[in-house]
Structure 1
Amino acid sequence: MTFILDSKLNADTFSVVKLGLCDLRLMNDRRWPWLILVPQRPDITEIHDLTPLDQTMLTFEAGIAAQALKSVTNCEKINTGALGNIVRQLHLHVIARNVGDAAWPGPVWGHGTREPYSENDARAFAKAVLDAI
């Protein structure tokens, strides 16, 4: 079977880079610097559905993404989570948070109205993340 990125993830994110396991993507919402890791495995919905090696790679790549995001944003906190209630395809959110941001201290999901990046700003931010990796 071939890996196909979920259409909602494709519509809501920009590609940053393909890592060893994951497609690293930038969420198109400038209110929070927000990365998405999508393991490039077909028909996977849960972390425990991955092989043990892929689980290890996901953890490793999440750490790399979190360190890069922290370096680029100098944020106070990194939130990491895998929900999958709307998009079933396994994906891991890595979000830079700061005290006083628009949703602090609550979750970012469902808070307010998305503020999309311009294409140039998205490319610049994605490049900064990639350079930090």
Structure 2
Amino acid sequence: MSEVREFQLHDRLAADTIDLGSSRLCEIRLMNERTWPWVVLVPAVAGIREIYELSGEQQQRLMEESSALSRGMMELFSGDKMNVAALGNMVPQLHLHHIVRFEGDPAWPGPVWGKQHPVPYADDELATIRQSLAPVLSLLK
């Protein structure tokens, strides 16, 4: 008899991000890094490392949620570029980073990884970003 595994968020994602709720497919997480507007979608499917491992329906839903999140974040933050990435080199669990970039930001035009130590949100900033993102996240339901 095969073992059924339940979805569990990777420890590193749990430590580095803040829960913003869930969509029909994904856990929605805010990267605890105030330098960039940065939201991570984690498909709530056990044992998935790559997009192609999702069912066709799940792949389509992930792209719909990612596109809606990207569009909403760009409109909300008036960014110059939306970076979407599913690297998984440090955290093997499938997750998609959505990072609003601005010309002249601390890492522009390069990637954000490793440019500086993370600057976590203060409590009041966290409340503000949650409130700002609420209408965008409602698009993912």
Shorter-chain TM-score range: over 0.9
Task: Give the structure 2 partner of residue 101 of structure 1.
Answer: 105
Shift in Å at residue 124 of structure 1? Answer: 2.1
Are 2:64 and 1:63 aligned?
A: no
Shift in Å at residue 2 of structure 1? Answer: 1.1
Are 2:61 and 1:52 aligned?
A: no
Question: Which structure 1 residue ranges, 5 or more long, are not aligned?
Answer: none
- Pick the aligned partner of 1:118 from 118, 122, 127: 122
Q: Partner letter of residue 88 of structure 1?
A: P
Q: Partner letter of residue 121 of structure 2?
A: Y
Question: Which structure 2 residue ranges, 5 or more long, are not aligned?
Answer: none
- Give the Cα–Cα distance (whole angstroms) in 1 for the partners of residues 123 and 20 of structure 2: 13
Q: Aligned pairs, how many?
A: 133
**What CA deviation, in whole Å up to 9, does each residue of 1:45-104 have, x standing for no partner?**
001111111000110000111122112211111000100000000000000001100000
3-state SS of 2:65 partner: helix
- Give the Cα–Cα distance (whole angstroms) in 1 for the partners of residues 118 and 125 of structure 2: 15
- Give the Cα–Cα distance (whole angstroms) in 1 for the partners of residues 112 and 95 of structure 2: 16
Displaced runs of 4 or more, over 6 A: none
RMSD, matched Cα: 1.0
Q: Over alpha carbons, which structure has the higher Rg?
A: 2
The answer (yes or no) to whether the contact 1:16–1:127 under 8 Å persists in 2 is no
The answer (yes or no) to whether the contact 1:84–1:91 under 8 Å persists in 2 is yes
3-state SS of 1:44 partner: coil
Q: Percent identity?
A: 39
- Pick the aligned partner of 1:2 from 6, 24, 43: 6
- Name the TM-score, length of structure 1 as normaliser: 0.95
